[in-house]
Homo-oligomer: A and B are copies of this chain.
Amino acid sequence: MRFVIIGGDAAGMSAASRAGRLRRDMEIIVFEQTHDVSYSACGMPYNIGDPEASMESLVVRRAEDFREKQGIDLRTGHRVDMIDRGKHIISGEKENGEPFECGYDKLLIATGASSIVPEVPGITNDGVYFLKDLRDGRMIRNYLETGSVKKAVILGMGYIALEMADALRKRGVHVTMVKPRKRLLPWLNEELSHVIVDELEKNGVELYPGHSVDTIEKTGSGLTVVCDDRSFECQLVIPAVGVKPNSGIAAAAGLDLDDFGAISVDRRGRTNDPDIYAAGDCADAFSVVTGKKVWVPLALHANRSGRVAAENICGMDTTLKGIACSAVFKVFELEVARAGINPAEARAAGFDPLEVVIASRSRAHGHPGNKTIHVAMTGDKKTGRLLGVQMAGAEGVAHRIHSFAVALHNSMSAEDFWQADLAYAPPFGPVWDPLLTAAGQLLRKSE
């Protein structure tokens, strides 16, 4: 049996590795358009911020390792353009322009996501860099190392935009962030978003929300980002306004997409074609909170869904339980994390949300180095069930979110979660963990 995989990043290579171990008799061919497979894409902003780092340190496994050690037929520099479902053939073009085609018995689409390109004149100018794959990362690093970048403008204020603001400040670059909407991270509770704004301003980031970019002009000394009522001179522009699923070839082949434009898959990772699976950032997932489809392109689910698709292709029967939409990022000295849904999302999903916002501490009473942890927790008034949480603080946020994610996987109520026996020691938290305190307040508010 021949198992063909389109895309050699997190989902694709997880699938290839898993299938290779499960079925030594299976022919596994991976087509990847770049020459980078298996690298830490999420590590790029942090790497860029560190003058001592090398971009190549993000490579987890090289293409040769997959070929030689795991016996996977990994064809880099191959761009797949079309799936012929009737003939069970994919076809595309090599980087030298030569066409190629390849038959399959089972196919996995793992084409990932790509940066949304804002429709702004000048967006293709030199000095405008998107950050999506390792090639982008190398280009930005090299550009910074010329020493000519004094000022940068970041378009957008999402995770990657914030991480890049941090990275560029670490390089001594002046940073301005511009976005059309007034609210930074609109999914975030307003009190918590103020905490992030304060952290950005404290670190010298200039924020300019509520303004669209009209054009990016090339000037003698660099670029000018022109907004409605102000212009920003700079040498570097990073558009980071979001990503979109690479589902074009799937759609052209008549595979079902969802409302997010991602490839629609069932809990086994299968599309509406029984011989075609999809995994990773190009495909959707089920929310463990709402039971409905969501599209949240993040690394862990990409790896896991690739692996699960491979298991099902190899004859096992593995189902994906769904995602809790957990995420965390670091911006300067602040850890920001979320899991589940916020009150607006809860209302849209038919819940009757109740939210509490508290400020707790990262260490025990009297322990030196204590920091504030902000928590916004949402539950359902009717059932008492926990729906989501958001946290921000200088320490103790990143891993605390895990316990709440596990609670969401188990549809726990605030009452049951309040009883969770979380470990306590003075350097690591108050006796009542911030999440337990928030759950307790949710309980009292609903009494």
Contact = CB atoms under 8 A, between A and B. Distances in A.
A10 B40 CA distance: 46
Contacts of A304: 419
A104 B111 CA distance: 72
Interface stretch (A226-234, A269-277, A352-360, A409-417): A409-417
Contacts of A326: 421-424
A325 B412 contact: no
A405 to B, nearest CB: 5
A298 to B, nearest CB: 7
Interface in A393-407: 396, 398-403, 405-407
A337 interface: yes
A339 interface: yes
Interface string A1-18: 000000000100000000
A418 B109 CA distance: 23
Contacts of A339: 421, 423
The quantity of this chain's copies bound in the complex is 2
B58 A398 contact: no
Contacts of A327: 423-425
Nearest to A339: B423
Contact of A299 (B299, B368, B407, B431): B431
Interface string A197-216: 00000000000000000000
A325 B301 CA distance: 30
B410 A40 contact: no
A398 B425 contact: yes
Contacts of A435: 402
A417 B409 CA distance: 9
Nearest to A327: B423
Contact of A325 (B322, B403, B420, B421): B421
A350 interface: no
Among A323, A326, A428, A433, the one with the most B-chain Cβ atoms within 10 Å of its Cβ is: A428
Given A43-B367, A398-B425, A321 B416 contact: yes
Interface string A293-322: 000001111011000000000000000111
B405 A10 contact: no
Contact of A328 (B322, B328, B337, B424): B424
Residue from A303, A335, A396, A422 with most neighbouring chain B CB atoms (10 Å): A422
A60 B419 CA distance: 22
Given A42-B364, A398-B425, 12 more contacts: A10-B431, A43-B364, A43-B365, A298-B424, A300-B422, A327-B425, A328-B423, A339-B423, A399-B400, A402-B422, A403-B406, A406-B417
